[in-house]
Structure formats: C-alpha cells, structure tokens
C-alpha cells in the first residue's frame, strides 16, 4: 500500500512539475477592425474667407547635424522676354560640403530647362556659391562643382551647353551674413543669371 501511495505521489508530483513548468498561453480575443467611415463633407466656406495659402516653413535637410534647408521658390508663369526669364529661373540649394543635386533641385532644374527651351536665344550663367566654412580654395572648387552639376543636368535635359557658362564665387557672395546653420543653408546655392 505504501508503494502505491508513494507511486501516486511521485506521479502527481511529476504531473504538477510538468504542468507548472509549461508556459500558459494567453488567449487573446481578436476583435474585428472598426468599420471605415467616410469623413463628413465640410460645409462650403463663404468666398470672403478664401485666402491664398501661406508659404510653408522651410524644410530641413536630413544630415547628421539636422541642417535647415532654404524653402524652394514657388513655380512661376511662362516667360515672355529674357527680362521675365530672369525672374522665373529659380535658385537651387545644396547640402553641406556637397555638389550632389537633391530631388528638389532636380525638379527646379527641370522647370528652369522648360523656361530656357522656350527662349533658345537666351544664354545664362550658373553661379556656384558656398557657405563660409572651409578654405577659400576649397570653397571655390566646391562652388565650381555645384555650378557644373547644374549645367550637366540642364544639358541632359536638352539645353545646349553653348548657352550655359559657369562661375564659382565660393563664399564671396553670401545672401545671409549670419554665422549659423540657417544662414549657411541659404548660402549653399546655385543662382541662374540671364546674360543675353
């Protein structure tokens, strides 16, 4: 009898250990997703409340130091004369220590190429600029690479290379004389000047 009781205790103990050692599976009741409802239509606003959109805040570049980027200029009308063209050609901006064209810069260059293709006799000069950081020689070379990158892109879009000259001003022509990232971001640019 003692053997049976001892045997039962051993079996029960092992059963308890096995049952207690196993992880319990929590039952999670999945609820169906809520039904999708269409947003309520907005009431029509009176015409007097309609206002032009305010300019958007500058977008920031994604660099290790989170450097701000100057907001790109809005698109403008089609040019009628070379004087009008000068007002339509938009500046492009660069990341710190880079002559690579961003997606925004490529989009603006495409628009600039459209304007230039409508006036095939007009020539332009691309002026490469840098911020104040770096040596004079380094910034002159970087400004030239920036201007050349824009020229090459325009040529690939069908604008004759004979219509485009380049020059680097390095850090000599800042548009913002400040000594912070906001000022530097405005100075890292290419400008497009109608020369004929």
At 151-176, the pLDDT tens digits run: 999 999 999 999 999 999 999 999 99
Is pLDDT larger for residue 31 or for residue 185? 185
Q: What is the pLDDT of residue 59?
A: 40
Half-sphere exposure of 165 (CA within 13 A, CB side): 9
CATH class of residue range 66-194: alpha beta
Mean pLDDT across the stretch 42-61? 44
In whole numbers, what is the pLDDT of the chain averaged over residues?
77
Q: What is the pLDDT of residue 34?
A: 52
Strands 124-129 and 164-170: parallel
Q: Residue 107 pLDDT more than 80?
A: yes
Domain residue limits, the chain: 66-194
- What pTM does this model have? 0.59
Q: What is the pLDDT of residue 5?
A: 75
Mean pLDDT across the stretch 136-142? 97
The closest of 154, 163, 93 to 129, measured between CA atoms, is 93
């Amino acid at each position: 009898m003692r053997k049976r009781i001892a045997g039962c205790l051993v079996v029960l103990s092992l059963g308890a250990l096995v049952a207690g050692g196993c992880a319990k599976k929590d039952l999670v009741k999945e609820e169906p997703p809520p039904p999708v409802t269409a947003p309520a239509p907005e009431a029509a606003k009176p015409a007097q409340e309609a206002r032009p959109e305010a300019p958007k805040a500058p977008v920031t570049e994604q660099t290790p130091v989170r450097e701000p980027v100057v907001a790109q200029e809005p698109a403008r009308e089609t040019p009628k004369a070379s004087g009008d063209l000068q007002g339509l050609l938009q500046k492009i901006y660069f990341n710190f220590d880079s002559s690579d064209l961003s997606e925004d810069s490529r989009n603006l260059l495409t628009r600039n190429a459209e304007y230039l293709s409508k006036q095939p006799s007009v020539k332009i000069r691309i002026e490469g600029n840098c911020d104040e950081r770096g040596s004079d020689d380094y910034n002159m070379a970087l400004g030239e690479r920036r201007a050349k990158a824009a020229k090459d892109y325009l040529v690939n879009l069908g604008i004759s290379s004979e219509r485009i000259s380049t020059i680097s001003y390095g850090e000599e022509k800042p548009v913002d004389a400040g000594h912070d990232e906001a000022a530097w971001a405005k100075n890292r640019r290419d400008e497009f000047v109608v020369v004929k």
